[in-house]
């Protein structure tokens, strides 16, 4: 038994370390976030991207990263929620590109550059739909330019806006707002200003939460 004792001790220590790390990860992944009235707008008062009825009684607000696979998986289900609950639910999207994703910030700037030609949501949907392609490309910028052409944008203007301060400023404003709220992960989704538990960030649970929120509010 003595000859196996060092091995047993090493295994026990490893298990304890792994358990502690898992608990720490879960703690970081489950922030109890809420959006208070004073934090409901971006620093500087910038406008936000809204899909659906601007005066809807229920708001689903997402902080997303275009290179984040879970964000991509929820993109179309969220779009469908807005369609199914018209005119009682609106969707707000804010950029929160993670530094661990090589092309995430440039993709966010591409969406904002498209937004300067009133095509933010079209680029938003296209970036998520094409995520498996551009996220693995060495030259994502060329693909973003091609997406702008597919959407009928003025490509030369799009290229200039990609390099300009306005689109970059919109991304930075969203990031500042996310930092103000203590957001660390994507997707982070609020339903009527209350963060949804990360374990419920799947199409089925998200729909159940949205359905319940709409039912709680009188129809507009």
Q: How confident is the model at residue 36 (pLDDT cuts 50, 70, 90)?
A: low
pLDDT at res. 4: 46
For residue 64, the cross-strand partners are 95
Q: Is beta strand 89-95 parallel, antiparallel or unpaired with respect to 58-64?
A: parallel
Q: For residue range 47-77, what is the model confidence (pLDDT) as tens digits?
A: 799 999 999 999 999 999 999 999 999 999 9
Q: Label residue 46 by pLDDT band (50, 70, 90).
A: low
Given a cut of 50, whether residue 159 has pLDDT beyond it is yes
**Candidate from 14-18, 25-29, 73-77, 105-109 with smallest mean pLDDT:** 25-29
Check residues 4 and 78 and name the one with the higher pLDDT. Answer: 78
pTM of the model: 0.81
CB-CB contact of 30 with 62 (8 Å): no
pLDDT mean over 153-176: 98
pLDDT tens for 109-151 read 999 999 999 999 999 999 999 999 999 999 999 999 999 999 9
* Rounded distance between C-alpha atoms, residue 168 and residue 96, angstroms: 12
Other beta carbons within 10 angstroms of residue 103's beta carbon come to 23
Report pLDDT for 34: 59
Report whether pLDDT(81) > 70.
yes
Lowest-confidence region among 21-30, 65-74, 129-138, 199-208: 21-30
Specify the DSSP element, H or E, that contains 35.
none
Mean pLDDT (whole number) for 202-206: 98
Percent of the chain with pLDDT over 70: 77
The arithmetic mean of pLDDT across residues 30-39, rounded, is 51
- DSSP per residue, 38-61: GGSS-TT----EEES-TT-SEEEE
CA–CA distance, 28 with 26 (Å, rounded to integer)? 5
């Amino acid at each position: 038994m003595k000859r196996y004792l060092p091995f047993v001790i090493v295994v026990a220590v490893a298990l304890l370390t792994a358990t502690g790390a898992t608990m720490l990860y879960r703690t970081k992944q489950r922030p109890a976030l809420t959006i208070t009235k004073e934090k409901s707008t971006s620093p500087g008062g910038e406008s936000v991207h809204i899909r659906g009825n601007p005066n809807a009684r229920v708001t689903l607000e997402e902080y997303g990263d275009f290179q984040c696979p879970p964000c991509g998986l929820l993109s179309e289900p969220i779009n469908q929620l807005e369609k199914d609950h018209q005119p009682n639910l609106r969707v707000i999207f804010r950029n929160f590109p993670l530094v661990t994703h090589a092309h995430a910030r440039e993709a966010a700037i591409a969406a904002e550059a498209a937004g300067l030609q009133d095509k933010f949501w079209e680029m938003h949907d296209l970036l998520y739909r094409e995520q498996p392609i551009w996220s693995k490309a060495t030259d994502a910028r060329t693909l973003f330019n091609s997406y702008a052409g597919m959407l009928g944008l003025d490509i030369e203007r799009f290229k200039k806006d990609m390099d300009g301060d306005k689109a970059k400023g919109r991304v930075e404003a969203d990031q500042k707002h996310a930092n103000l709220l203590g957001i660390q992960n994507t997707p982070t989704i609020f339903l009527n200003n209350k963060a949804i538990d990360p374990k419920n960030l799947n199409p089925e649970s998200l729909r159940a939460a949205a359905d319940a929120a709409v039912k709680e509010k009188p129809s507009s």
